Amino acid sequence: MQDALGNVQSVLLLGATSDIGQAIVRRLIGARSGTRVVLAARRTVSCESFAEELRSSGTSVELLGFDADEPSSHRAVLDLAASGGDLDVVVSAWGVLGAPQDSLTADPMAAAAVVRTNMVGVVSAGLESARVLRAQGHGTLIHISSVAGERVRRANFVYGASKAGSDAFMQGLADSLVGSGVRVLVVRPGFVRSKMTEGMKAQPFSTTPEKVAEATVRALRKTEVTVWVPGLLRFVFAVFRHLPRAVWRRLPV
């Protein structure tokens, strides 16, 4: 349960090696000690250094195995995370870009794997997270989406479609939870300079994990249900969304 000042007391990070997810956790706990953080990742050894960083500041850290591609395991992971006490915030922060679009076009199985991770896993873990938070009667599920799903580009349409699907799912989940005490916050960043995009050419309106975290925590403390990072992208995509398809295809985006 959040304290009298609205500070988060417990966080579950699903996809604990995510640069964005880690930045959000840092921003949520700030300089306070005593916060409980559960880091869930496919390979827990990969987030050991982050766990030690948190522990050094007085944070209680637990590590759990979590595989987005194994939906049948998600209930046990959420139940185990919740067994240590209520969860104020669950952060859904995993995803894959996959191979370049030309390669995915030639390899439908690889394309399906991208969708499985970015959408199927989100549906399963999202429903399990909502179940746990609803039983508590409070909590927020933060989902890291992407502007790529707002209007899918032919240059990466498999990835964009997977993000569009997961974003739409989270919006529907948010509506279904109205009145339950549980909230869903969808975060739509543009191009983020992180491990995931290392070596790629930065796009217009690019941002950093720290900027995404700052905007996310600011939105969490308000009543927003969707946050764009940077905020200007909300207006850019309001235009993109309504462009005729023939025009959209010609844009260098």
Q: What is the number of alpha carbons within 13 Å of residue 51 lying toward its C-beta?
A: 19
Per residue in 225-250, is it b (16+ CB within 10 Å) or e — as a string?
ebbbbeeebeebbeebeeeeeeebee
Active site members: 159
CB 98 within 8 A of CB 158: yes
Please name the residue that has the structure tokens 């240059």.
155
- Collapsing DSSP to helix, strand or coil, 123 comes out as helix
Cis peptide leading into residue 100 (ω within 30°): no
Q: Show the tokens assigned to 70.
A: 């194994």
Note the Cα 67 to chain centre separation in Å.
Answer: 15
Q: Report which DSSP code applies to 225.
A: S
CB 130 within 8 A of CB 141: yes
Q: Show the tokens assigned to 133.
A: 């938070």
CB 62 within 8 A of CB 48: no
Q: Show the tokens assigned to 102.
A: 């030309």
Please provide residue 6's backbone torsions phi and psi, each rounded to the nearest 5 degrees.
85, 10
